[in-house]
Structure 1
Amino acid sequence: MGAGPVLTLQDVADLARVRRPVVSMWRRRPMARGVHLPFPDPVEVVGGVERFSRDEIVVWLERTGRGNNPDAGLDAPALSVPEAVSLEELVVWLCLASLTGDELAATTTEQRTDRARDVDPGDRMLLREVASARAVPATLQFVDGLLDASYGPGEALDRLHRSRAGRGSRDLTSDAVDLVRTVAQACALHLDPEGVPLVHAGSATSATLALAPSFTQLIVPGDTPDVRGMRRRAAIRGVETVERAATPRARFLSAVGETVDSALELVDEVVLDLDEAELAVIVGPAAALCDELHGTQEQCRARTLRAEGLAVALRLPRGMWREAHRQALGLWVCAPGGFTQRPLVADLAAFDSAERDLDDLASDVTAALARVRGRAFRYLRPHDLPAILSSRATVVPAGARAIRLATADTGRHTAAINAATLVTSEPIRPFDVLAESAPGTMLLRRRSLGELSDQGHLRLLRGSRIRSDHTDPAGSVPVLSATAPHGLLRLDPFDATQQYPRAARTNAGDVVFTDRPHPVAIVDDTGGALVAAPSKILRISPKAGIGPRAVAAIINRLPRAPSEWKTWSVPILGTADVDRLEEVLAAADAHEATLRRHLDETRNLVTAMIDGVAAGAVTLATRTTE
């Protein structure tokens, strides 16, 4: 008798929606909620990997309450992939079950073949695979359970690709898919505003299926195993496929995960095969599409580029391929031969996430295809084809970005410089402290904050969870955090009372602090503020022997490691010493704030001078003012 449906430790992590190390920690800690509930023992070991009973894991998660998935019992059937079954075989059965609506475990081999013939009479994707398969009951039961655990066939396919059987699949991230879709849609709009079909090229399927809804049809020509697999996945997602369609058309090739040699060969085939009314969007390794090449690889890429079909070349930011986050990808937009000798290029990694706007990128691509060269591009800049074809040249130089046109608004740069110099030219008042010798004492008295709390000289008030969508820029109630000296946000006073009736408010002189991830504190001189958790409030009595500014200064000088606030030690001073020390520390804080303001404006001044001189809007005098 077999072990039944099983899960690996990674499957358990996926089921519980936690990181893999968390499951290992659970195995070492059998106590849960004060009850001894040890992690289930493995039922088998396959290839050195432990397998655990799916049913036992589900029961254990329910009893312990661990993990972040309240629907673990419903999701578990989608993760217990049978052993020694390939991803493609599972896709075949998922496709059959999706198209027929049958419970596969209740059918015979002959019935499954007949049903495959009904839904695929032309044997374009399914019939021969079903007729030659010898599925074991566990496989069919898994597919039935997968569909039951999913919100539809499309989501079942996604779950299958994320499961143990599909963890080696080469998927793009959602950001990469959005970017490629934006470029593909711009190409389609250029070809025909009413819509065009999309031609699938290459073997990768996930990106093509993500693009398909933006096109009128999905063309999948041929009868290779990869092509049939593509049609099966399209059928599962409800995307109709055809083998041919009239022009204009857009082609899409994903060479992600291919070697440089293989990628160059695939790209050459697609570019040379383009008809007059076609465009191609190609995604592949930046090493092949963008970077410097040598020897036969350089010659192969040059042969493709000499057809003058490259319209746009982009280097994408790192992290857009799930299987290799450090490998950069490249993207080409190609037209039929003789299109241009000045392709437009850009390194999107040179723009931070706040600077990348997909609508502006689409506008740039549309203008490039329309050969609008007088346009002020946001990202793209021209790159001469002869320079690209020269020895050791790159298609997309690192950091390439659009040429910024000089602006006629010269006053903007001078205004920025003048605004900064209004602060940097202010004289900074010296900060001095008059210190005299004192007799000293034989006993240095210190108390921990825990001791002061026990003596009633210190009170701890906890912060509150504050929702960011409650913010009101015109509000008069600040929300403070120890890690945000100038406040996180502001609330309307009526909203603050209604939404957070039990939240503690600060008094003037309260210390706002946190001990995670390291100790840090500020002093609220005004009072009346809410404090956002995990920050807390320390309210110090005048009889404590220490003032709030001294406490905050001591906290800010503690080691940068988590520690318990009650263990923090402070000196106990006389009343007169407390007052004098607080007065001097207030002056020190004001002096530090002035220095920080000057430093900030000095940085702004440097940036404004560089931008102004680079734009030709500012000329700097050779003499500096001392």
Structure 2
Amino acid sequence: MTDTALLMTMSDIAGLAHVQRPVVSVWRSRSAATNTPFPTPVSRQRGVDLFNADQVGSWLSATGRGNNRDAAADAAAYAVPDAHDEQTFRGVTALLTLRAACDHALSTLTEAELVDLADEHDPDDDLLLREIEALGDTLPTLAAYVDALVEAAFGPTPAFERMLTDRFKRNLADEGDLSLSREALDLMAETVTALRLTQPADSVLVDPTGSASDLLIAIHQGEVPVMTANVDSPTARLQRRRLMVHGIVRTELQVLPSGAFSVTGAAVHVAQYPSAARPTMTPVQILSDIEQSVLQMTDEQLAVVLAPSAVLSDTGLSREADELRSSLLRSGRVRAIVRLPAGLLTGKPQQLQALWVLGAAHAEVALADRYAMVADLVATPLGDAAIDDLVSDLAASLGSQRMVRAHAFRFARLVLTRSLLASRRSLVAGVSTVIPARDQPAAALAVSIDRLAAKLEADVVVEPASEIASTSTVQELLTAGHLHYIPGNRIAAEDVSDDVIEGAAEAAGIRLIGPAEVANPSQLGHRSIDRLRFAAAYSSGRVTEPGDVVFATSPRPAAVVDTEGTSVVLFPARILRIEQADPNGLLDAVLAADIQAMPPGHRRWRAWPVRQVALNQRQALADALTSLRWEQKQALDRLGQLDELTDLLMAGVTAGTITIASEALSKGTT
């Protein structure tokens, strides 16, 4: 096909053969001593073996391995040319765009004819001409590769997308690692779609960064007009090529060197920061870019912005950045602030993102009474139902004051803008979606508790109240000194005893609490460490105090209250200790319950929201929970005794060693 070899990684081969990656390793090792050995690597880049695609395709066809009978023909779709650098990548995407534009094969054309064709389709050199010219004498070879790639991928569009999604093929230094997960793209697409429904039909999509192609393609439907910045960066040109391949008609947005631009009529501005063109943007630069959008927005325009929560919602900004964010809040155009769960950036899964919805300031609301919708979904997986409900909340936030009051928000609450400006906490502080609020009114809740307490003969009396619920994140409580963090101890495996601690052994050993005990509290006391050994080998080791909350993040968030204390916590389990001199409404049982309620996968424990108890109710709740725990223990003891009695009766009667008096009828019989 070409004079230049096409190369594949082991992962590429797995994709070509439609098998899992480990299968290829098995083929490679097991075929080594056969008559059809696996092809040998032809080169190695960044520690990764590269194989000749033609050899791999022939080997798969000859051996019948894999689940793709057309492997030899499809190899080009999973391979890249030798010496595939950034310039080659740009040239190949330009040729794919040209192939889509002219709708015929390129391999029959000479180098000069290819350049002329590129000039014909891109006379102003907006997206592909210079990239094709830069290929020089490799142009015919790469044109043949592009034809093979298009045939193997069944069209220019899937071929282009395959080039983008394969990180080995892409590897562009100036784009950063800002790819969004499917959940993030779905959220942005549904949010923008919902907002456009509130606008005239001729509303346009605006990308002021010139590099948000992932968002535009996820959002674009039908004949929606798209405007993107006239930036001449490689990233902006790549975006324009991608839009053209997808058949999306774009118009130019003139952005001045100062960052200023102008859009007339109804529009929805869409942006992700840092942008792909400027992946190292600082918080000040991000907020300055958002400010440019706000300055030019008319009342009929809206905006949806995705950026790190450290910039849009959290504390810790520099003075300049904080002043910029405060200025944006004072403008009244920030209508919704949402902190999102981790995992939305595929390359940085632990970095939290936040979303802003911008719109017209509330004209009918006095400045002092203006508000924003605030939500914290850091612990809420973005499934379809959650996205639907959040989008509903976001759309409602743009309505009139009457519409907002009539909407039943699932995730959000309304906060006065002046309160956000005055607070030194996160903009979403106090908003929790982890612990579901009771749907029952206070009176109905009190009746339910009274009914249960009466059935259980529990000495609990409650009354309806109107206290405002309070929550804070673990990080906020640590910073304020209401919580203390103590890491777990790293104990050598040979120092851990698996004997159950009881009797004399309890005096010689210290109870261990590790992730296994946290996940299954019934295992408490099954592992220990000798007291003398711990003192001698782990002189800096720490033990628990009564009331410490021991927690783990994997395989899912879990916590247990160590009511006894003097236990050794085994890493990676850790300790959260409430400051008894200033607990600020924290209660160990509530803290542990909140951690237990966290969904799987939420390992960013410092961002976990924690409920706080009103100061005048803290001791009363603690006493009530202690009483209920005692009742639970009594019930468990009775269950154990009933199980033992059941076993003894069955054993005795079946063995003929005892008989049951016929008149001894039991409860539950007829």
Bin for the TM-score computed over the shorter chain: 0.5 to 0.7
> Does 355-364 or 137-146 show the bigger shift?
355-364
Tell me which of 116, 124, 127 is aligned to 1:125: 127
Contact 1:161 1:167 in 2 (8 A): no
Separation of aligned partners in 1, 2:331 and 2:362: 6
Match of 1:308 in 2: 332
Instruction: State the secondary structure of the residue aligned to 2:342.
Output: coil
| 2:526 aligned partner | none
Could you tell me which residue of structure 1 aligns to residue 207 of structure 2?
A: 200
- The 3-state SS of whatever aligns with 2:311 is helix
State the Cα distance separating 1:274 from its structure 2 match: 1.8
Distance 2:358 2:280 in 1: 19
Q: Displacement of 1:145 after TM fit?
A: 1.3
Matched, 1:231 2:240: yes
Q: How far has the Cα of 1:98 moved from its partner?
A: 0.7
Provide the secondary structure at the position in 2 that maps to 1:396: coil
Query: Aligned-pair distance for 1:387?
Result: 3.4
Unaligned runs of 5+ in 1: 426-602
| Deviation per residue, 1:250-308 (Å, 9 max, x gap) | 11111155544343333232223322321111112222122212323323322333322
1:276-425 maps to which residues of 2 (within 5 A)?
A: 276-295=299-318, 296-336=320-360, 341-352=370-381, 356-371=385-400, 372-374=403-405, 375-390=407-422, 392-397=424-429, 400-401=432-433, 407-408=440-441
2-side partners of 1:47 and 1:350: how far apart? Answer: 37
Alignment of 1:423-502 (within 5 A): none
Q: Equivalent of 1:255, from 255, 262, 273?
A: 273
Q: Distance in 1 between matches of 2:146 and 2:450?
A: 67
Q: CA deviation at 1:243?
A: 2.4
Q: How far off its partner does 1:155 sit? A: 1.2
Segments of structure 2 that go 5 or more residues without pairing to the other structure are 254-262, 459-592, 598-610, 615-619, 635-670
Work out whether 1:272 is the aligned partner of 2:300: no
Does 2:48 correspond to 1:73? no
Q: Give the secondary structure class of the aligned counterpart of 1:186.
A: helix
The DSSP-based 3-state class of the residue aligned with 1:158 is: helix
Contact 1:196 1:215 in 2 (8 A): no
Q: 2:51 is matched with which residue?
A: 52
Q: How many residues align?
A: 437
Counterpart of 1:444 in structure 2 is: none
Q: Is the Cα–Cα contact under 8 Å of residues 381 and 400 in structure 1 kept in the other structure?
A: no
**Alpha-carbon spacing, 1:355–1:154, altered in 2? closer, same or farther (3 Å):** closer
- Shift of residue 179, structure 1, vs aligned partner: 0.7
Instruction: Supply the distance in 2 between the matched residues of 1:241 and 1:55 (Cα, whole angstroms).
Output: 39
Equivalence for 1:460: none
What is the rounded CA distance, in whole Å, between the counterparts of 1:187 and 1:7 in structure 2? 44
One-letter amino acid of the structure 2 residue matched with residue 205 of structure 1: S
Distance 2:343 2:28 in 1: 32
CA distance in 1 between counterparts of 2:371 and 2:97 reads: 46
Q: Which residue number in structure 2 is paired with residue 561 of structure 1?
A: none
- Measure how far apart 1:130 and its partner are: 3.6
C-alpha spacing 1:326/1:424, structure 2 compared with 1 (3 Å): farther
1:148 corresponds to which residue?
Answer: 151
Q: Secondary structure at the match of 1:6?
A: strand
Q: What does residue range 524-543 of structure 1 map to in structure 2 within 5 Å?
A: none
| Amino acid across the alignment from 1:166 | R
Amino acid at match of 2:266: P
Distance 1:133 1:161 in 2: 19
Give the drift of 1:140: 1.7
Which SS does the other structure have where 2:51 is aligned?
A: strand
- Paired with 2:222 and 2:443, the residues of 1 have a C-alpha distance of 44
- Give 1:7-18 correspondences, 5 Å limit: 7-18=8-19
Most deviating of 415-424 and 309-318: 415-424
Task: Describe the SS at the equivalent of 1:349.
Answer: coil
CA distance in 1, matches of 2:348, 2:301: 31
Contact 2:413/2:431 (<8 A) preserved: no
Q: Report the CA distance between 1:315 and its aligned residue.
A: 1.6
Q: Is the 8 A contact 1:97 1:104 kept in 2?
A: yes
Q: 1:174 to 1:214 in 2, by over 3 A?
A: farther
- Residue identity opposite 1:79 in structure 2: Y
* SS of equivalent residue, structure 1 residue 104: coil
Which AA in structure 2 matches 1:373?
A: V
Give the Å deviation of 1:217.
0.7
Structure 2 counterpart of 1:43, one-letter code: V
- CA 1:255–1:30 in 2, change beyond 3 Å: closer, same or farther? same
Report the Cα offset of residue 406 of structure 1: 5.8
The letter for the 2-side match of 1:228 is R
Do 1:190 and 1:369's aligned partners in 2 also have CA atoms closer than 8 Å?
A: no
Cα offset for 1:25? 4.0
Change (3 A) 1:31 1:184: same
Q: Distance in 2 between matches of 1:28 and 1:21?
A: 11
